[in-house]
Amino acid sequence: MSEALNCPACGGPIERRNPGILTLVCAHCENVVYWDEEGVRAAGFKSALTEGFTRLFRDAVGQIADKRVRVLGRVRYRHPRGFWDEWYVAYDDDTLGWITEDDHELAIEEPGRREDFHRARVGDRFDHQGTTWHVEEVGEAECIGVEGELPDVYALGELYRFADASSVDGRSTLAIEYDEEPPVVFRGRWVPVGAIRLECDKRGGGNEAIRARPEHVARTVQCPNCAAPLRVADEATQLRTCDSCDSRLQLSETDARVVGRKAPGAPDFALPLGQRFRWKGHDYEVAARLRWAESDDSSDTGDHYLLYHPVAGSLWLDSYERAWTLTWSAHAAPPADVAGLRVGSTIRTGDGQSWTKDDHGVLVLAYVDGALPWVAEVGDRVAYVEFSGGGNGVYEVVSDRDEVSFGAGETISPAQLREATGRTDVSAQAAGIKAHTRKSVAMYLVKVAFAAGVVHVLAIVGLALNEREVLREKFSASDLESEVLSSPFEAQRGEVIEVGVSAPTLNNAWMAMDVGLVNAQERVVHVTDAEASYYHGVDQGERWSEGSSRGVVWLRAPETGSWRILLHAVSGALESTSSSTNEHDATLEVEIGGRPGAGLFGGLICCAIGVLVGGWGVTKLAEDDD
């Protein structure tokens, strides 16, 4: 049920379509009008807002995610890192709610509810209504403008503290406004920017649209210092460096003011401002360039490029040690205190993805130019923790005193970089993977190879412990030459009988043996052969040796019972190929439970090679770091 009135400021007709509306901006004179117990009155100030990133507008009708909405009004707040818009909307089921538009991200929020709530701090983690939340940002917001119809009285300049949290799985939002006690809590969910489909976007316009959705137009501001016209593409820009006089300008809704000068001597960035970067069908442009240095080593630097697209939003392109990564905002949270984890540790973010820690540290801003959505200053510090995983995926946690943000993304190959920028000079210098990621991979190799080695050692030890010697018997050379039957020993059905014959006097000679397994009835159930040969010498001054003076075979006991070994041996020297005599005494060693373990020893050598190669990689990369 609507109510027709006249604007107390200009007399123009205004319509209040919902009795819950307490603030309305006159469409004719842009004066703000309040309703209270005494009736309608002018607030005494005008409010004109620039377009938001989504370019939603009052009375826009359409679909946002799974909800059909009509936009009623908007409140814009400024906070230390920029501004955000709260769009007040009516759903087609006659309920009301908010759509938050902050730095190219959208969230659908339910109407707020006053609840007892603690004062949240950045990084806090708490449970609320069955969900675990992670506080991403706290700060003080100032109302800087209103538009359309709103359910409360808003005063320009009004300040209140706020905290923004995300569910650890990155799907839901929780905004807490500490404007009075108890605070108002808004619960919602993140939706992609592409989830907005307005009637007026349809071909030929929609019947319900009162105007077309505005096209994105970069605005131009004039440098207050040198009067140069400056193009500002991103409507969220707060800082712009003048291309002509290097002044640092802080932008507001209506003006630009000089807040300093750009640091002298632009670093040798690989990409210029305005560089096109084509990614997933969108032509982004480099809007800002930042050079960061490690807090403990100012020569260890990396470059961050802010990429802006008027529809797709913004991305960060990072270059460090010739490796390039592309990241975008994410809200799935890591476990607490990831900075304290060792490099190579594995974590799982709230959305179930697994990541391996690559690096952490503190960065100090050394240089910035272009246009940024916050006022950055040389000397600003941020802590970071970097992870990799899932093919070429990357995940990062970046934090300062007031905000912790998460980024997800991927490593960019030199070929992708060439395709995105069209520049071969940059891609030719690019590497596919960061040095500290290589170090992390090398450390991972050490760990995996070591773990596999431990399994091999355990298997070898297990086999050795499982073995038991059941017979050790010496035979003379002549006994062996004429066949000899050993003393009896016991073995269970299926047990492995290791029959070893050691002839320690073998010296550049061989011994060939016939081995028979004899049961208690003195019947030979299996016949096989074994060989021992040992050669050594000196070749070109190098000593060499090969072979072994011990021959071994493994037999499986066909039955439980008493067994004996029937043994016959002949031996020969050096190159002789046949013999009917034996020159060497030998010891028969029978063990039960043994298994041929050469494969285990071979595997163990592979594991040792992995540990050595990985360890060498870690050491080498650490030396390169130094």
Partner 1 sequence: MSGFLRFVATAFYLLLTIGVLAATWRAPNIEDADEPEGISIREGGNTNTFFGVWRTHSGGGLAGGK
Q: Which long-range contacts (CB under 8 A, 24 or more apart) does 152-161 make?
A: 152/22, 152/23, 153/22, 153/23, 153/34, 153/36, 154/23, 154/32, 154/75, 155/43, 156/45, 156/47
Closer residue to partner 1 in complex, CB, 102/386:
386
Q: Does 621 bind partner 1 (CB under 8 A)?
A: no
> Six-digit token pair at 280?
């997933």
Q: How far is the CB of 459 from partner 1 (least distance, A)?
A: 6
Q: What are phi and psi of 567, to 5 degrees?
A: -130, 140
Place of tokens 């807490």: 176
How far apart (Å, rounded) are the C-alpha atoms in residues 305 and 311?
18
**Helix/strand/coil for 200:** helix
> Six-digit token pair at 101?
């538009």
Q: Does 529 bind partner 1 (CB under 8 A)?
A: yes
Binding segment (CB under 8 A) for partner 1, from list 230-238, 259-267, 478-486, 535-543: 478-486
Binding segment (CB under 8 A) for partner 1, from list 143-151, 198-206, 216-224, 603-611: 603-611
- Return the residues of window 306-365 that contact partner 1 according to CB under 8 A: 356, 358
Q: Does 500 bind partner 1 (CB under 8 A)?
A: no
Give buried/exposed letters for 416-454 (b at 16+ CB in 10 A, else e). bbbebbeeeebbeebebbbbbbbbbbbbbbbeebeebbe
Q: Does 522 bind partner 1 (CB under 8 A)?
A: yes
Q: How far is the CB of 481 from partner 1 (least distance, A)?
A: 9
Residues 549-578: x where in contact with partner 1 by CB under 8 A, - otherwise, as a string: ----xxxx-x-------x-xxx-x----xx
Q: Does 523 bind partner 1 (CB under 8 A)?
A: yes
Q: How far is the CB of 408 from partner 1 (least distance, A)?
A: 13
Residues that bind partner 1 (rule: CB under 8 A) add up to a total of 72
- Return the residues of window 389-448 that contact partner 1 according to CB under 8 A: 389-393, 411, 413, 432-433, 437-438, 440-441, 444-445, 448
Q: Does 610 bind partner 1 (CB under 8 A)?
A: yes
Q: Please name the amino acid found at residue 290.
A: L
Q: How far is the CB of 463 from partner 1 (least distance, A)?
A: 7
Measure CA 263 to chain center: 32
**Helix/strand/coil for 319:** strand
Binding segment (CB under 8 A) for partner 1, from list 29-37, 66-74, 141-149, 510-518: 510-518
Q: What are phi and psi of 481, to 5 degrees?
A: -65, -30
How far apart (Å, rounded) are the C-alpha atoms in residues 224 and 300?
36
**Options 17, 459, 561, 608; binder of partner 1; rule CB under 8 A:** 459
Closer residue to partner 1 in complex, CB, 207/578:
578
Residues 6 or more apart in contact with residue 483 via CB below 8 angstroms? 514, 566, 567, 568
Q: How far is the CB of 184 from partner 1 (least distance, A)?
A: 43
**Options 80, 206, 547, 597; binder of partner 1; rule CB under 8 A:** 597
Closer residue to partner 1 in complex, CB, 151/390:
390
Closer residue to partner 1 in complex, CB, 272/494:
494
Q: Does 503 bind partner 1 (CB under 8 A)?
A: no
Reported as type and span, the H/E element at residue 616 is helix 598-625
Q: Does 226 bind partner 1 (CB under 8 A)?
A: no
Q: How far is the CB of 280 from partner 1 (least distance, A)?
A: 19
